[in-house]
Chains A and B, each alone.
Chain A
Amino acid sequence: MNPHAEDHFGYRLVRRLGQGARDLQPHTRNRLDDARRRALQAHRRRRKTLGEVLLSRLTPALPDWRAALAMVVVLLMPVAGEHFHTATRVTQLQEVDTALLIDDLPIDAYLDTEFRAWLHHASQS
């Protein structure tokens, strides 16, 4: 079909549709109008906001939330391991330090390494 014939066909089609629309019952016309509005609104909702567009550009390697969750788990595992190690170490220090600080012997007794050696030799003699 050449361009002129296309234009002519389009013109005839619009005229025919316009005539058909005029012949529709008001109830039918209203239903079609409502359906058109809903379709336009649904189309607008699908468009991304600027924030969504920027975020998707910043995180192109995350196709869905499962991949994001997997990434978080991978990132948090060393942190959790380190945290567990630190927490265990701190708990041990808390126990020893409390016991040492309330002990009958003063702190100096535990800093003096010769005292331990002296005790060792004294117990043997």
Chain B
Amino acid sequence: MAASRLAVLICTLLIPAAVLAAPTWNELSAAQRQALAPLAGEWAAMDNAGRQTWIGIAERYDRLTPAEQGRLQQRMREWAQLSPDERERARDQYRALRSMPAEQRESLHDEWKRYRSLPPEERRRASEGNP
């Protein structure tokens, strides 16, 4: 009985720690390290939630096309260096733009290029509804 009590107490203390712990860079699998290679330098400084998010992205990596894999790796560091607020803002905007009607969604890339070609002042005026 004493042994079972001790085991129960140890489990109570260890299970949450085990559940919440995220792996170090060396504990990742070879495939995960390859997918997340651009983040090798930043990994140690990331919190658990950040690491878990990237691990999930790495698990989707094999299902992406080569072009998508290239874009993903190219943007990883830029994304990791944003503040949590900036990332949340980008996610909100992504959800909003992706919920647009299909025909508008398909032209988003061209619209972005048109928007970027405008002078900053004109962009600001146009976004306020004063073209």
**From A51, which residue of chain B is reached at the shortest CB distance?**
B2
Residues in A with CB closer than 8 Å to B82 are: 107, 111
Complex CA gap A116/B115 in Å reads 10
Residues in B with CB closer than 8 Å to A55 are: 2, 5-6
- B6, B56, B64: the one contacting A94 at CB < 8 Å is B56
- A115 near B91 (CB under 8 angstroms)? no
With A76-B15, A118-B127 already in contact, the answer to whether A104 and B53 are too (CB < 8 A) is no
- B5 near A59 (CB under 8 angstroms)? yes
Interface flag for B119 (CB, 8 Å): no
- A72 near B12 (CB under 8 angstroms)? yes
Interface of A is mostly: helix
- A101 near B72 (CB under 8 angstroms)? yes
Shortest CB–CB separation between residue A100 and chain B, in angstroms?
A: 5
Residues in A with CB closer than 8 Å to B128 are: 117, 121
Size of the B side of the interface (Cβ < 8 Å), in residues, is 53
Interface flag for A103 (CB, 8 Å): yes
With A94-B60, A97-B57 already in contact, the answer to whether A62 and B111 are too (CB < 8 A) is no
State which residues 71-127 of B face A: CB under 8 Å.
71-72, 75-76, 78-79, 82, 86-87, 89-91, 93-98, 104, 108-109, 111-112, 115, 123-124, 126-127
Can you list 22 A-B contacts (CB < 8 A)?
A55-B2, A68-B4, A79-B19, A83-B16, A90-B52, A91-B56, A93-B56, A94-B56, A97-B53, A97-B79, A97-B91, A98-B57, A100-B91, A102-B69, A102-B71, A104-B109, A105-B97, A105-B108, A107-B78, A110-B93, A115-B93, A121-B127
Given contacts A111-B93, A118-B126, 16 further A-B contacts (CB under 8 A): A55-B2, A55-B5, A68-B8, A76-B16, A83-B20, A93-B91, A94-B56, A98-B56, A101-B75, A109-B112, A113-B89, A115-B93, A116-B96, A117-B127, A119-B97, A125-B131
